[in-house]
Amino acid sequence: MSIIVNGSATPLPPDPRVSLLDLLREHLKLTGTKKGCNQGACGACTVLLDGERVVSCLTLAVQAEGRAVTTVEGLAQSDKLHPLQQAFIDRDGFQCGYCTPGQICSAIGMAAELERGVPSHVTGDLTAGTIAASREELAERMSGNLCRCGAHNGIIDAIAATFISKEAAQPYRPDGPEMAA
Amino acid sequence: MTPFQYSRATSAAEAVQSAGLEAAKYLGGGTNLVDLMRETIERPAVLVDVTGLSANIDEREGGLLIGAAVRNTALAEHRVVRERYPVLARAILAGASAQIRNMATVGGNILQRTRCAYFYDDEGSRCNKRTPGQGCDALDGFNRMHAILGTSPACVATHPSDMCVALAALDATVHLEGRQGRRTLALTDLHRLPGDHPEIETVLEPGELITAVELPPLTMASTYRKVRDRASYAFALVSVAAALRVEDGAVKAVRLALGGVAHKPWRAWKAEAALKDGPVTAEAFRAAAEAELADAAPLRDNAFKIELAKRTMVSVLGELAGEAA
């Protein structure tokens, strides 16, 4: 009767009403994961559940029994930041930082989806084996994470620099050429 | 959130038995139900988690049998769905966010409830869906997002699903298991129009569980178009699911369904009848759209949906006709 949070087994809360988000923040004091809207609209509470990105506010902790949860606290290796964390710093991927842990967890899940060939709303050819990670694709795939400071361009730059290529992460120009995969 | 007892079902029969109470609810991804429970609009005494039931997608007689616990992402990325049912893949990918699609199940998507703001506003608004007989504040309220077809004075809410619009166009059937045994039902017969009882949203018996969705073979070009206020992660103002086959310059087969316009995924039977065996022209498409929307009844803020629905239907049919040519 436990959940694996960042590699450590954690007992389930006795009350099934406890959300995964509240378990993380209030019971385990892992406050990196943020509570924004608490209704699945903002993505600030995004964590990885068995490697898949989910919103922890609408996940009951009991539903995660026996599964592995990764939060933003589980990404760095001791003092060495995850490359995406460093890229957020290097590319101005945030201002206030409240949405950042959700953005980062979401982007890691997103990169795995892209690698697996999961199509998106803006994918032209649904049957293509590989999907070019255009800026449009990245923006669509990150639409579940809102940034009220408006750092979205830096966020996409950081994601592109980490998972696609350094060349792909040129600062955003509205009329510029689409970046290649 | 009202206290509840949580259990996890390992078979459909066990789930149905566990949900033997009126106040029981089945839990899929929880993306809608947990939210409604937190708002105390849903107050189940028993929550039966059915995400451990069939999450298989099997080819069957040229079609697909899709377990009710299949996650939305898994369905949209499935090879056969992408190749043969693009309308379904596109509808799912137009809905919600990637996180929500990773959580949401097929069964839960079908049974999600309206996002009408008055339905959610437990303390400040009247809603016949939430409190039968209370009245409807959407009728004279801010009703830009509301329904234009099949409404009643009791309710003008829309069904929010994109996936269901595609399933309606695909002639999908829903497999059910309940205390009285198993049965199948056309998806288009599952959801009800509001009438005098908008609180009753489907024809499901108490405790009846959706176990699977079955798709017959599709031999038409198909697609899904969603029109919304922002480019991503918003509910439909209007959406169109369409499939078309053209032979010898005439419409040999056509399927159309509309989203964002009614209390249920709206199969456009009238438009289909108008198009069948007719010419493949913009005029014919427009006439069919006019026929479907002839009975549309606008509210204060949503008359634009009538013209939007017509134009979207014409545009999508034109796109498919170009593909089929």
The whole-number average pLDDT for the span A169-178 is 53
In a domain, A64, yes or no: yes
Domain count, chain A: 2
Which segments in chain B show pLDDT lower than 70?
324-325
Instruction: Please tell me the predicted confidence (pLDDT) of residue A173.
Output: 52
User: B93 at the A interface (CB within 8 A)?
Assistant: yes
- Architecture of the B54-325 domain: 2-Layer Sandwich (3.30)
Q: Out of A39, A43, A119, whose CB is closest to B82? A: A119
Domain that holds residue A90: 83-169
Question: Which CATH number covers residue A44?
Answer: 3.10.20.30
User: B304 at the A interface (CB within 8 A)?
Assistant: no
pLDDT at A170 over 70: no
Please say whether the beta carbons of A83 and B127 come within 8 A. Answer: no
Strand ranges inside chain B, DSSP E: 5-8, 24-27, 46-49, 57-60, 63-67, 173-178, 181-186, 209-215, 221-227, 238-247, 250-259, 266-267
A128 contacts on B by Cβ (under 8 Å): none
CATH of domain B5-51: 3.30.43.10
Predicted confidence (pLDDT) per residue in A137-164, tens digit: 999 999 999 999 999 999 999 999 999 8
Judge: B93–A119 Cβ closer than 8 Å, yes or no: yes
Instruction: Please tell me the predicted confidence (pLDDT) of residue A181.
Output: 40
Instruction: Please tell me the predicted confidence (pLDDT) of residue A166.
Output: 56
User: B34 at the A interface (CB within 8 A)?
Assistant: yes
In a domain, A101, yes or no: yes
A18 shares its domain with A64: yes
**Percent above pLDDT 90 for chain A:** 87
Whole-complex ipTM? 0.96
Number of C-beta neighbours around residue A59 at 10 A: 26
The whole-number average pLDDT for the span A87-109 is 98
Residue of chain A whose Cα is closest to the Cα of B46:
A16
Predicted confidence (pLDDT) per residue in A110-119, tens digit: 999 999 999 9
Judge: B73–A118 Cβ closer than 8 Å, yes or no: yes
The pLDDT confidence band at residue A171, using thresholds 50, 70 and 90, is low
What are the residue ranges of CATH 3.30.465.10 in chain B?
54-325
Burial of B185 (0-12, 13-18, 19+ CB in 10 A): middle
pLDDT at A124 over 80: yes
Cα–Cα distances in angstroms (integers) from residue B308 to residues A69, A79, B239, B302, in the given order: 43, 55, 9, 10
A115 contacts on B by Cβ (under 8 Å): none
In a domain, A177, yes or no: no
Residue of chain B whose Cα is closest to the Cα of A42:
B97
In a domain, A179, yes or no: no
Instruction: Please tell me the predicted confidence (pLDDT) of residue A165.
Output: 72
User: A70 at the B interface (CB within 8 A)?
Assistant: no
pLDDT at A180 over 50: no
Which of A37, A143, A147 to mutate to test binding with chain B, by most B CBs within 10 Å of its CB? A143
Judge: B93–A60 Cβ closer than 8 Å, yes or no: no
Helix, strand, coil share of chain B (percent; to 5): 30, 25, 45
In a domain, A126, yes or no: yes
Judge: A60–B34 Cβ closer than 8 Å, yes or no: yes
Burial of B14 (0-12, 13-18, 19+ CB in 10 A): middle
Please say whether the beta carbons of A40 and A17 come within 8 A. Answer: no
